[in-house]
Structure 1
Amino acid sequence: MKLTVPTWLTLLRIVLIPVMVATFYMPWQWSNFATAAVFGLAAVTDWLDGWIARRYHLYSAFGAFLDPVADKLMVATALFLIVQGHPTPWMAFWAAVIVGREIAVSALREWMAELGQRATVKVATIGKIKTVVQMVALLCLLYAVTPDKNPPRPQPWLGEPIFHIGDWLLAAAALLTLWSAFLYLRAAWPALKEGERREAGS
């Protein structure tokens, strides 16, 4: 198995997950900054490995498998940390929507791949917008929340507390998540129905 530069960057993103967890729970005054910085670095590697793969045609089957896995692990871990630091019903609900959507769409893509229709549920523009909004939201919230359930840090940004900005953006990301999942399902529905008819007739 050949490890390309994009694959190494993807592996780095996975390695950063326990680092992010460790910095979140460290009793340092600047641990929130370190946690957000680790997540930000992971987000940069996510963009960079895709750019390098496209620019220099460094594609591999292992990298194609590992990249979405690393993304989902990083996002899910960040959400778990945020909910632990700010355990409100709405925060838990938004986190559940985002994680649940990732599981559902991954299952849908696997099913479509078995039908030979994986391209039907390829990443769309709405999915990319959702990813950007989600990453900014998680970055703000990781910076603002604390693991000991104290009130979020009140640092302002653009005239608003960073926590409130992250909270609103996470809600927006969750709604975009539901919308993109609906679009994927609508695009896949004809192929799914056709697959059911074939199985019924065999």
Structure 2
Amino acid sequence: MPLDLPNLLTVSRILAIPLLVLLVALQTPWGDMAACVVFSAAAITDYFDGKIARERQITSDFGRMLDPIADKLLVGAALMLLAGFDRLNDLALLPAIVIMLREILVSGLREYLAGLRVGLPVTRLAKWKTGFQMGALGTLLAGDSGAAALGLGVLPVGLIGEIMLWTAAGLTLVTGWDYWVAGLRHAGGKEGAAEPGRLSPP
């Protein structure tokens, strides 16, 4: 494994997951607040690892492979923790399911298109989706109990988080559809029947 800073930041997102699980499992106000901090810090590394890699021109195949994996592991863990510890109401489970299914869909499309040597570019709207998604999950991990620990119990933090989650789910549907159409274009068009080495990027 190349031990450069971007890769270390990427790995840190994976290493943060066990700590996140432990903090949520405590089911205490300060544990919830700490879980929010750990998740938010891990989510922010997603921005900095890419930025540093581009600026210092130290991109690697290992980093390109691990970066999306680390993101999906972190998001998946947070969603399962929120659902498993009853931190989401029944209605809020719907956007959580949409987000999880979209992550699986895009992973499958990327794997298929990688076999065709076709890239699946990240759109600007997808970046907005990621921002709302990470913000929503961090807010929900803190929840009303975490806000109360900071003396902010009057704020409907849980409700704010759920609104953000619904917004992220809406953006998820739009961007997921865009990626799905792109995948179908290559699967059903001439590109899908071509030799892998002769494909051009979308």
Q: TM-score range by the shorter chain?
A: 0.7 to 0.9
Match of 2:161 in 1: 166
AA aligned opposite 1:52: I
* Mapped contact 2:99–2:169 kept (Cα < 8 A): yes
AA aligned opposite 1:46: D
1:194 is the counterpart of 2:195? no
CA offsets 1:130-186 (integer angstroms, 9 cap, x no match): 00001111111000067xxxxx969898x8511111101101101111110111122
Gaps of 5+ in 1: 147-151
Match of 1:92 in 2: 93
**In 2 relative to 1, CA 195–112 (structure 1 residues): closer, same or farther, beyond 3 Å?**
farther
AA aligned opposite 1:11: V
* Mapped contact 2:87–2:140 kept (Cα < 8 A): no
AA aligned opposite 1:131: T
Equivalent residue in structure 2 for 1:184, among 164, 168, 179: 179
* Mapped contact 1:82–1:145 kept (Cα < 8 A): no
AA aligned opposite 2:38: V
| Larger displacement relative to structure 2 (77-86 or 170-179) | 77-86
Match of 1:83 in 2: 83
Q: Aligned partners of 1:4, 1:154: CA distance in 2, in Å?
A: 37
Identity among equivalent positions (%) equals 38
AA aligned opposite 2:11: L
Match of 2:71 in 1: 71
RMSD of equivalent CA atoms: 2.4
* Mapped contact 1:154–1:161 kept (Cα < 8 A): no
Name the SS for the 1:144 alignment partner.
helix
- What TM-score do you get using the length of structure 1 for normalisation? 0.85
* Mapped contact 1:6–1:49 kept (Cα < 8 A): yes
- What TM-score do you get using the length of structure 2 for normalisation? 0.85
AA aligned opposite 1:105: V
The structure whose RCO (Cα within 8 Å, separation 6+) is larger is: 2
AA aligned opposite 2:131: V
Name the SS for the 2:91 alignment partner.
helix
Match of 1:37 in 2: 37
Matched pairs, number: 191
Match of 2:111 in 1: 110
Q: Which runs of 4+ in 1 moved over 3 A?
A: 152-157
* Mapped contact 2:144–2:157 kept (Cα < 8 A): no
Match of 1:5 in 2: 5
1:143 is the counterpart of 2:138? no
